[in-house]
C-alpha cells in the first residue's frame, strides 16, 4: 500500500504549470466527444444509410484527419503550438454545429472531412508542446497523464451521449460544439507558447522550400516511418470500436444505449489502471511493451467474434484491447518525442499522427465492406490476425523506442540554448 500511494503522488509531481493547463484543455475537449463515436449510428439510424454508405461518409473524417495531422504539425512549427490548437478548436466547433442541421449527403461528407481535419490538427501541436514543456525523463509519464485525461473525458462522454441520443441526435452535435469551443478559449487564454526559436529574432517564420525541407527530413527518418506504419495497422483495429462495432451490436439487437455503456469501459479502464500501469511500465524497454500491446489489440477484437448478443462479451473485448491501447499510445508518443529534433517536433508528431489519421480514413471503408459482405465473424477474425502481424513486425524490427542516430551540431546547440536538451540513447 505505501508503494501504491507513492506511485500515485509521483505521477502528479514535478510537471510544469503549463502542462496542467494543457491537460485541463484536453479533459474539457474529450468530455464533449459526442459526435464521432455515434456518427455511424447517426447515419444509419437517423439518415437511413447502409453500413457501406455510412463507412464511406465516416471515412471522410479520416481523410480530413490525414490532411489535418500534417497541416497541424507544419503549422505548430511555423506559427506556434497555441495558435494552431486554439484556431483548430474554433473551426471544429463551427463545423460540428453545421453538421447538426445539414441534410444533403454531399454536404454531410464535406463537413465530415472538415470535422476530421479540425479535430486532428491540434494533436501534433499538443504533443509537441508536451515535448517542449516536459523533461525527457518525464515524457512517458506526461503522455500517460494526458492520455488518462483523454479517456476520463471519453468514458464520461460516451455515457452522456448514449442518453442524449435517446432524446435527439441533434444534442450530441450541440454538446460537442460547445465543449470544443470552450477548449479553444482555454488554449488561447491559458496555454503558453512553447515553440523553440529556430532563427534570428524578428525574422519571418520559415516558409516555402525551407519549410518543405523540414517535412522531408521527418519523412526520411526510417525509424519514424516504421513506427508510423505499424501504428497505422493497430489504429485500424481501434477505429473498428467506434465505426463497425456499434453497427454489429445493433445487428444483434442491442441498443445504442448499450453500445454507449460498452464503449465507456474504454475510458473507465484507463481511469482505473493508467496510473498504476504507468508505474509498472517505468524503466521497461519499449520493444516488448509495443509487441505485447499489439497482441492485446488483436486479442480484444478477436474475442468479439464470440459475443453474439452478449453485451458482457463485447465489454470483455473492449477491456482487453483497451489495455493494449494504454500501453501503446503513451509509449509510442514518447518514442516519437525522443527521436525528434528540437525544431521539427511538430512535423515529427504530424507524420506519426498521419498513421492514426490514415487509419481513421481506411478503417470505416474496410470495416463497413467486410461487415456487409462477409459478416461480423470474419471482420473480428481479421482484426485478430492484424494484431498478431503487428506484434511480429515489432519483433522483426527490433524497435526499442529510442533514437539511434546522433543529431547534428546545430540541433544540439539549439536544444542547449533553449534549456530543453533531448536525451538520445544509443
Has residue 124 got a pLDDT over 80?
yes
Query: How confident is the model over 121-129, as a mean pLDDT?
Result: 89
Has residue 75 got a pLDDT over 50?
yes
Per DSSP, the residues of 71-103 read HHHHHHHHT-HHHHHHHHHHHHHHHHHHHTT--
Residue 425 lies in a domain: no
The more confidently predicted of residues 395 and 338 is 395
Residue 5 lies in a domain: no
Has residue 284 got a pLDDT over 80?
no
At residue 198's C-alpha, the angle toward residues 194 and 202, to 5°, is: 90
Residue 240 lies in a domain: yes
Residue 39 lies in a domain: yes
Residue 424 lies in a domain: no
The enclosing domain of 239 has a CATH number of: 1.20.1250.20
pLDDT digits (tens, 9 = 90+) for 18-69: 888 888 888 888 888 888 878 888 888 877 777 777 878 887 887 888 888 8
Residue 276 lies in a domain: yes
What is the residue range of 36's domain?
16-197+217-418
Number of domains in the chain: 1
Residue 298 lies in a domain: yes
Instruction: Give the pLDDT score at 299.
Output: 95
pLDDT digits (tens, 9 = 90+) for 289-312: 888 999 999 999 999 989 888 889
Cα–Cα nearest to 360, from 97, 39, 14, 21: 39
Instruction: Give the pLDDT score at 406.
Output: 34
Cα–Cα nearest to 125, from 303, 389, 347, 318: 347
Sign of CA pseudo-dihedral 159, 299, 140, 413: negative
Give phi and psi for 168, each to the nearest 5. Answer: -175, 140
Query: How confident is the model over 242-264, as a mean pLDDT?
Result: 86
Has residue 375 got a pLDDT over 80?
yes
Residue 4 lies in a domain: no
pLDDT digits (tens, 9 = 90+) for 158-176: 778 877 877 778 888 888 8
Instruction: Give the pLDDT score at 202.
Output: 39
Quick one: 194 exposed, middle or buried, by C-beta within 10 A (0-12, 13-18, 19+)? Answer: buried
pLDDT tier, 194 (very low <50, low <70, confident <90, very high otherwise) = confident
Amino acid at each position: 500500500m505505501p508503494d501504491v500511494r507513492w506511485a500515485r503522488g509521483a505521477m502528479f509531481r514535478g510537471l510544469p504549470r503549463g502542462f496542467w493547463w494543457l491537460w485541463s484543455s484536453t479533459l474539457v475537449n474529450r468530455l464533449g466527444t459526442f459526435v464521432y463515436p455515434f456518427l455511424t449510428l447517426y447515419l444509419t439510424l437517423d439518415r437511413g444509410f447502409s453500413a457501406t454508405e455510412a463507412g464511406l461518409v465516416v471515412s471522410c473524417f479520416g481523410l480530413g484527419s490525414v490532411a489535418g495531422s500534417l497541416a497541424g504539425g507544419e503549422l505548430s512549427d511555423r506559427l506556434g503550438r497555441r495558435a494552431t490548437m486554439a484556431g483548430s478548436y474554433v473551426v471544429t466547433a463551427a463545423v460540428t454545429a453545421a453538421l447538426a442541421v445539414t441534410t444533403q449527403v454531399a454536404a454531410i461528407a464535406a463537413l465530415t472531412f472538415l470535422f476530421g481535419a479540425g479535430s486532428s490538427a491540434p494533436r501534433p501541436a499538443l504533443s509537441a508542446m508536451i515535448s517542449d514543456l516536459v523533461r525527457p525523463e518525464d515524457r512517458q509519464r506526461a503522455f500517460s497523464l494526458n492520455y488518462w485525461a483523454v479517456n476520463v473525458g471519453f468514458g464520461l462522454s460516451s455515457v452522456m451521449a448514449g442518453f442524449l441520443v435517446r432524446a435527439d441526435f441533434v444534442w450530441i452535435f450541440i454538446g460537442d460544439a460547445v465543449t470544443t469551443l470552450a477548449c479553444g478559449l482555454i488554449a488561447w487564454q491559458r496555454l503558453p507558447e512553447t515553440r523553440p526559436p529556430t532563427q534570428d529574432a524578428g525574422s519571418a517564420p520559415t516558409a516555402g522550400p525551407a519549410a518543405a525541407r523540414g517535412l522531408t527530413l521527418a519523412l526520411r527518418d526510417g525509424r519514424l516511418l516504421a513506427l508510423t506504419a505499424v501504428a497505422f495497422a493497430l489504429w485500424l483495429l481501434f477505429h473498428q470500436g467506434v465505426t463497425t462495432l456499434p453497427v454489429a451490436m445493433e445487428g444483434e439487437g442491442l441498443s445504442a444505449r448499450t453500445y454507449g455503456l460498452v464503449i465507456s469501459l474504454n475510458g473507465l479502464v484507463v481511469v482505473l489502471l493508467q496510473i498504476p500501469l504507468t508505474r509498472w511500465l517505468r524503466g521497461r524497454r519499449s520493444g516488448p511493451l509495443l509487441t505485447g500491446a499489439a497482441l492485446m489489440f488483436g486479442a480484444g477484437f478477436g474475442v468479439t467474434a464470440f459475443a453474439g448478443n452478449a453485451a458482457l462479451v463485447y465489454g470483455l473485448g473492449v477491456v482487453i484491447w483497451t489495455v493494449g491501447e494504454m500501453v501503446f499510445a503513451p509509449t509510442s508518443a514518447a518514442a516519437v518525442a525522443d527521436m525528434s529534433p528540437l525544431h521539427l517536433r511538430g512535423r515529427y508528431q504530424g507524420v506519426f499522427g498521419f498513421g492514426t489519421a490514415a487509419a481513421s480514413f481506411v478503417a470505416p471503408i474496410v470495416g463497413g465492406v467486410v461487415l456487409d459482405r462477409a459478416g461480423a465473424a470474419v471482420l473480428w477474425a481479421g482484426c485478430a490476425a492484424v494484431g498478431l502481424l503487428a506484434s511480429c513486425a515489432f519483433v522483426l524490427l527490433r524497435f526499442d523506442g529510442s533514437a539511434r542516430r546522433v543529431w547534428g551540431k546545430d540541433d544540439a546547440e539549439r536544444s542547449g540554448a533553449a534549456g530543453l536538451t533531448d536525451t538520445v540513447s544509443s
